[in-house]
Amino acid sequence: MLATTDAIVISLQPQTDKAHVLHAYTRAGGRINYRVYGLGRKHAIGMYSPLSLLQITAEQSPSRPPTVKEAVPLTVSRPPMNIYQQTVALFISEVLFHVLRHPMPDEPMFDFLVQAVQALQESSEPQNFHLLFLYAFAAKLGFAIETELPMPHTRAERQKQLQQLCAYFAEHVETWQNPKSLDVLMEVFD
């Protein structure tokens, strides 16, 4: 049976020579892990970059993970994200990978994430975007940060605040792991 849903790419990981696992957050089912075959021939691998917005049609089976049959970008053609936006997207996708683990539909969360992705794509100065996202995401998850710190203006302030936010998430999310892209993110924004 085929099913179609809107999705946000969290990550794409190689599984075998011919298959990848696509971790996505979907409107219809929350976190779903799909199998994707034939990347490079039938599909453009760049379409599956972190935080890409897609419409996915997949073959559903009760005995195995769903298999992507077609994926179509949801947004109109935009200029590619710059290195700063890509770094923030990578960081946010890692946060989503560790926090959003369950295959439960949550349309308000999906809509929140789509708005965040669109705001990042339109941002010309994303140096504090990841901090603002973490504040809003914590509130959406039900553990809002009561005292919002002022937005940092220096690299040292930004790094300190990011470390505090990651520690806050570690206290509230059992599956939390500091994203591997954290060091890169802290280096990119001087």
| Position 159, amino acid | Q
pLDDT over threshold 90, residue 24? yes
Beta bridge partners of 3: 58
| CB contact burial 2-19 (16+ within 10 A = b; e otherwise) | eeebbbbbbbbeeeeeee
Question: What are 145-184's pLDDT values in tens digits?
Answer: 987 678 888 888 989 999 999 999 999 999 999 999 988 8
In the chain, which segments carry CATH 2.40.50.140? 2-73
Task: Please state, as a whole number, how many other Cβ atoms lie within 10 Å of the Cβ of residue 162.
Answer: 21
CATH class name, domain 2-73 = mainly beta
Question: What are 59-92's pLDDT values in tens digits?
Answer: 998 889 999 999 999 876 567 789 999 999 999 9
